[in-house]
Amino acid sequence: MNRFVYLPDVVSLQLNDNRCTGCGMCAIVCPHGVMTLENGRALIADRDACMECGACARNCPADAIAVQAGVGCAQAVINAALGRTGKACCTIDRE
C-alpha cells in the first residue's frame, strides 16, 4: 500500500515531554501512527504524517500535546476567506 504523506515540515503539532505521563492514549487515537511510545514517554515518530485532526491533544490527560486542529480542506479555506460560514467540506462519505 502506498503511504500518503502531505507537505513536509508544516504541521503545528507540539509535544511537551515534561508533562507526558506515558499513558499511551495519543498513540491509540492517532489515525496516522504519528505518535509512539518510547521508554514510557510519547514521541513524535512521524511528524509529516500528522493531519492536525487534534485527537491526540484532546485525549491527552496530561495536557502534553498542542496542535492547531482543523480540517485540511481548500474549500473551507476559500469559504473562510470569502466570509462564508456554515457547510465546510466534509463530504458525506467520510465515515
Partner 1 sequence: MNIWNISTPAGPVPRVSTRLNLADRLGMCRVRWGIGRMSYTVEPGLYAVGEPDQNSEVLVTANYRMTFDHVRSALSNLDAWILVLDTNGINVWCAAGKGTFGTKELLSRIEASGLTLVINHRRLIVPQLGAVGIAAHHVKELSGFRVLYGPIEARDINEYLANGLRASGSMRRKTFSVRERAALIPMELLPALKYMAVIAVTLTLLAGLMGSGSFMSDVLRFGKTTIASLLLAVAAGAVLVPLLLPYLPGRSFSMKGFWMGLATALAVFLFVLKTTGSVMIVVPWIVLIPALSSFLAMNFTGSSTYTSLSGVRREMRIAVPLQAAASILGVILWFGTMLTERGRVL
Residues of this chain that interact with partner 1 (CB under 8 A) are 1-2, 4-8, 10-12, 25, 28-33, 49-55, 58-59, 61, 68-77, 88-95
Task: Indicate the residue among 28 and 84 with the shorter CB distance to ligand SF4.
Answer: 28
For the CB of residue 25, give the shortest distance to partner 1 in the complex, in Å: 7
Per-state percent for the chain, helix, strand, coil, to nearest 5: 20, 15, 65
CA distance 14 to 93: 30
Which alpha helices (DSSP H) does 1-95 contain, by range? Answer: 25-29, 55-59, 74-81
Which one of partner 1, ligand SF4, none is in contact with 95 (Cβ closer than 5 to 8 A by kind)? Answer: partner 1
40 binds ligand SF4 (CB under 6 A): no
With contact defined as beta carbons under 8 Å apart, do 22 and 61 qualify? no
Task: Indicate the residue among 41 and 69 with the shorter CB distance to partner 1.
Answer: 69
